[in-house]
Amino acid sequence: MPYSVYCSGSIAKGNADQKKLCWTDSERNDVSRGSSPEQVIFLNPDDPISDPQNTLGQFGRDMYQVMIASAVIVDARERRGVGIGVEMAAAATLGTPLIVVVPRNSLYRSDTLSYRGTTVQNYVHPHIASLASAVVDDFVAAGEYLSQLPSRRVAETDAAPAWLTVAVSEYVSNVLAQDPPMINALRSLNIEPELSFQCG
């Protein structure tokens, strides 16, 4: 069975975001190269959504992808926003392995960092260090780590908090049927769309 990866990172929302580092074919190809010969299905949060006014369903789509993924790979090469933090927390809550790409001597990782009145060696941002299954230098290394993960069942949602289950339920009930990229991904993963989530 192929691996599935939720691509967590910035989405270019307009001209001001064009200079941001985002997931592209280059990053996906590096993950695939690192995980070779295992196949990887990428779950993309920037796929078009049928009803962009349904913000709960849009959030639910992201959380649903985190829930069914073999792993979440976070692009932490530069400063990231609240969405990535929520995706990391959701992955930890749902038991989805979290692989964080954070190069050495970048914003969230440093060989030596002086802060809070002391100097720390091999610093990794505390939120990343606490939640990540692995901290890696690049996307090839992320793929290598991915290929070593055991297969996992989709997370049990009965223990998930309401903020997750309500959003995922909204997505599955009212958006998934009009989401061809997600339906195609589910079929590639041998998951029946209508059986992929049961709330409560």
pLDDT tens per residue across span 174-190: 999 999 999 999 999 98
Please identify which residue in the block is written with the tokens 């695939």: 32
Confidence check: pLDDT of 63 > 80? yes
On whether residue 49 sits in a domain, the answer given is yes
- Which of the residue ranges 10-14, 19-23, 75-79 would you say has the lowest mean pLDDT? 10-14
Identify the pLDDT of residue 10: 78
Which pLDDT band, with edges at 50, 70 and 90, does 116 fall under? confident
Confidence check: pLDDT of 29 > 60? yes
Residues comprising the chain, all counted:
200
Distance, CA of 146 to CA of 70 (rounded, Å): 8
Confidence check: pLDDT of 199 > 60? no
- Tens of pLDDT, residue by residue over 137-184, are 999 999 999 999 988 766 555 568 999 999 999 999 999 999 999 999
Distance, CA of 119 to CA of 98 (rounded, Å): 27
Intra-chain end-to-end CA distance of the chain, in Å: 27
CATH number of the domain residue 16 falls in: 3.40.50.450
Top-ranked range on mean pLDDT: pick from 49-53, 105-109, 156-160: 105-109
On whether residue 200 sits in a domain, the answer given is no
Instruction: Give the pTM.
Output: 0.91
Which pLDDT band, with edges at 50, 70 and 90, does 15 fall under? low
On whether residue 8 sits in a domain, the answer given is yes
Mean pLDDT of the chain: 90
On whether residue 91 sits in a domain, the answer given is yes
On whether residue 54 sits in a domain, the answer given is yes
Helix, strand, or coil (residue 62): helix
* Contacting residues for 61 by C-beta, under 8 A, at least 6 apart: 45, 49, 171, 175, 176, 179, 182
Per the DSSP assignment, residues forming a β-bridge with 6 are 43, 72
Which pLDDT band, with edges at 50, 70 and 90, does 52 fall under? confident
> Could you list the residue range(s) of the whole structural domain that residue 25 is in?
3-195
DSSP 150: P
Domains identified in the chain, total number:
1
Identify the pLDDT of residue 48: 85
On whether residue 92 sits in a domain, the answer given is yes
Kindly state the percentage of the chain with pLDDT values over 70. Answer: 88
On whether residue 118 sits in a domain, the answer given is yes
